[in-house]
Structure 1
């Protein structure tokens, strides 16, 4: 039965993600695009916490040590729908995008270890911007699409009755195209600068979790992850050429002015996440988490003609969240078996942007979100999980853009209790 549901869900997810763009944020113009926080729908509904949290049937993308607590084989799939309102000092624009958040499988190994495998997006590029210079009578169009995804494998094991450790390895891959088109009045040909790049690279994350049983069935937990520094290699070509437009708006290339190869790097330093939590199993949990990373370094790629307009600084995030489950085995009320989640998140993304030349007044792009969600139980420990998040990013001062967003997340967590059990013959 689970396998049939799996096929139906994958079909729906494929149709949804193929039919729509996966991003529409102007901030996806910078770097490798708009980056996603790798969390499950359950985690995102709790403000993104997870480094100190583990569960016997729910997955955890933040800390690989959490797989040591897994006791059931679990398939999980997530979808994200993003409604974005872009505000540029009075002018507003609304857009929608839908994407597949993750596709993963995890299973226990004995009673003290577990593994997980999956694929999920890392970043997405999907912008279309315009700028008109009245003095020069020149229209400039900025556009981009593509993104980066990753495949990963995680392993966690309990090395002591209260201590678990884990390791995760991933490989990132994707393509990103950025272009800038300029057209002057009374000039027959426009010019276009285009970068077509391929992004490749891997990373390793180490994690640990510690749990201590207290009085009254309380459990105190702590966790830490260290995503080791790594490089993303960026290769490709850039082009500068002239073009004209047909009556339908299609491009017609003319002369190539220049062409060169791109060979750059996206250097990601060590990222540290620390957290602690307190709760009762299948009753309630509250956790606090802090993430920190030094400035990202880039060289030789992506928006070379406009890279003076942005740079990177230190990034950090603080999240607070948890869940409440009234009565897991209630017979009289279904809603008492529902898991209720909520959280809040404050983040400095590390992106610094200046909206006007001479590019010496950079502003930090900060992100704030409030989230809540529901875990709707199904048969055999499976569940449908929904998450809702309201937030804002950026600001309108310094010629920047403020984004107000509403994220709706949906996941199907399918738990199979018979995967590694021998079938008995009656």
Structure 2
């Protein structure tokens, strides 16, 4: 009875988290999030992020069950009920030639995911993850002749651009094994949310000037599919070489756009007052947003309970992304991940530090953005820890901490260079639920 009570309490918390996340706004503060459908989230747990983001050919890490949404075939290796809840923090510094640097920080509940074994070689998984985020705000000041102007100039015009919103991914998946070496799996996901862009034109130093604002938004929702496989070569009971493949299908989501043009005055403090008039307010017909096909390949080698090393390569066909039949002008992306985990002595009871998972990795990303004649690239190094907590009546707990330190963009051709630190804090539970007890 206690087991079932715990299940329903946890499910209630999951529903509450789902509701809170669905209503949240974006936690991105990057000017690059204005392209496409925003910054795409890696959809990884902290234990994978600490290893450079490798996931395609991983399932269990050591002897611990993990939820790996990137490759649903991994669910087939889950043999205990697993819950993973994560928090996320982002610290970002923006630099641009001729401008002062800007610092931002953001925090959020990142994910909640469950995996429940249905047989010795199969399991169900479901949960809620972030899919993409939009969040930017910048301003350009010019005079009436189109040249740079000072803020005190009575002829200056301010052009401001901002955006916010996010897309979330609720998924349900199943993975199973065929024979001893092959795992197969798939996710059905519902991607939903809103993304919005706002452009304003203001003449701040001209009394009685009418300012204008253009606001466009897209409400998005629809089904997406992930599928994958993993094949292992066993050199012994504890040493395994795993090859993996997974993909996200290039499906079409529903989208409906709205477009509002309004006019307003600034108040005595120079802030935007209530809109005086809406010149245009339209809601477009329901249309389609075409997502790209994303293919991922991975390889890993693991000595159970000792170490794991691996590498991934991903390709995203982002040149296919279109909204309401309009191609978004992106390019195809390429991502390389490499990393591993090492546990000095998983079975010792005298040296806690020897039971900790120590993780390290790196990634290189040629993003889908090509701006001012340059491909926007991202480089990052990662580090992580898996901190086991004392087991209790067959329950196993682990705190996963990961940090990603990286750079995106550059200072050439008027671009923005981002230096960032992402912190992931996760809590993972392994437990045996739904056990039938027999009495003599």
Specify the alignment match of 1:251 in structure 2.
Answer: 273
Structure 1 residues 232 and 182: alpha-carbon distance in aligned structure 2, compared to 1, 3 A threshold: same
Unaligned runs of 5+ residues in structure 2 are 147-155
What is the TM-score when the length of structure 1 is the normalising length? 0.90
- Whether the 8 Å CA contact 2:18–2:128 is kept in 1: the answer is no
C-alpha separation between the residues in 1 aligned to 2:12 and 2:305? 29
Specify the alignment match of 2:299 in structure 1.
Answer: 276
The Cα of 1:298 is off from its aligned counterpart by: 4.5
3-state SS of paired residue (2:352): coil
3-state SS of paired residue (1:203): strand
Moved more, 162-171 or 226-235: 226-235
Specify the alignment match of 1:370 in structure 2.
Answer: 381
Correspondence 1:320 to 2:320? no
Moved more, 137-146 or 247-256: 247-256
C-alpha separation between the residues in 2 aligned to 1:82 and 1:7? 28
Correspondence 1:385 to 2:410? no
3-state SS of paired residue (1:312): coil
- Whether the 8 Å CA contact 1:265–1:298 is kept in 2: the answer is no
Specify the alignment match of 1:358 in structure 2.
Answer: none
C-alpha separation between the residues in 2 aligned to 1:8 and 1:331? 36
3-state SS of paired residue (1:61): coil
Specify the alignment match of 1:68 in structure 2.
Answer: 76
C-alpha separation between the residues in 2 aligned to 1:311 and 1:65? 33
The Cα of 1:266 is off from its aligned counterpart by: 3.1
Deviations 1:96-129 (A, max 9, x none): 0012221111111110101100001111122211
Moved more, 32-41 or 182-191: 182-191
Aligned partner of 1:23 among 19, 28, 49? 28
The Cα of 1:93 is off from its aligned counterpart by: 0.5
The Cα of 1:60 is off from its aligned counterpart by: 0.8
Moved more, 15-24 or 46-55: 15-24
Deviations 1:301-327 (A, max 9, x none): 69x9xx9xx730110111001100111
The Cα of 1:420 is off from its aligned counterpart by: 1.9
Correspondence 1:348 to 2:366? yes
C-alpha separation between the residues in 2 aligned to 1:298 and 1:24? 23
Specify the alignment match of 1:175 in structure 2.
Answer: 194
Correspondence 1:130 to 2:139? yes
C-alpha separation between the residues in 2 aligned to 1:162 and 1:313? 37
Structure 1 residues 15 and 105: alpha-carbon distance in aligned structure 2, compared to 1, 3 A threshold: closer
Correspondence 1:400 to 2:415? yes
3-state SS of paired residue (2:355): coil
- Whether the 8 Å CA contact 2:26–2:133 is kept in 1: the answer is no
Specify the alignment match of 2:435 in structure 1.
Answer: 421
The Cα of 1:16 is off from its aligned counterpart by: 11
Specify the alignment match of 1:214 in structure 2.
Answer: 235
3-state SS of paired residue (1:27): helix
The Cα of 1:21 is off from its aligned counterpart by: 5.9
C-alpha separation between the residues in 2 aligned to 1:76 and 1:201? 25
What is the TM-score when the length of structure 2 is the normalising length? 0.87
C-alpha separation between the residues in 2 aligned to 1:13 and 1:410? 18
C-alpha separation between the residues in 2 aligned to 1:314 and 1:366? 12
3-state SS of paired residue (1:329): coil
3-state SS of paired residue (2:88): strand
What do you get for the CA RMSD once the two structures are aligned?
2.8
Specify the alignment match of 1:262 in structure 2.
Answer: 284
3-state SS of paired residue (1:28): helix
- Whether the 8 Å CA contact 2:36–2:330 is kept in 1: the answer is no
C-alpha separation between the residues in 2 aligned to 1:201 and 1:12? 21
How many residues are treated as equivalent by the alignment?
413
What is the correspondence of 1:30-69 to structure 2 with a 5 Å cutoff?
Answer: 30-55=35-60, 57-69=65-77
3-state SS of paired residue (1:383): strand
Unaligned runs of 5+ residues in structure 1 are 355-361
The Cα of 1:262 is off from its aligned counterpart by: 3.5
3-state SS of paired residue (2:318): coil
C-alpha separation between the residues in 2 aligned to 1:195 and 1:54? 42
Correspondence 1:226 to 2:237? no
Deviations 1:15-44 (A, max 9, x none): 999999622111122222111111111111
What is the correspondence of 1:150-189 to structure 2 with a 5 Å cutoff?
Answer: 150-184=169-203, 185-186=205-206, 188-189=209-210
Structure 1 residues 169 and 278: alpha-carbon distance in aligned structure 2, compared to 1, 3 A threshold: same
Specify the alignment match of 1:357 in structure 2.
Answer: none
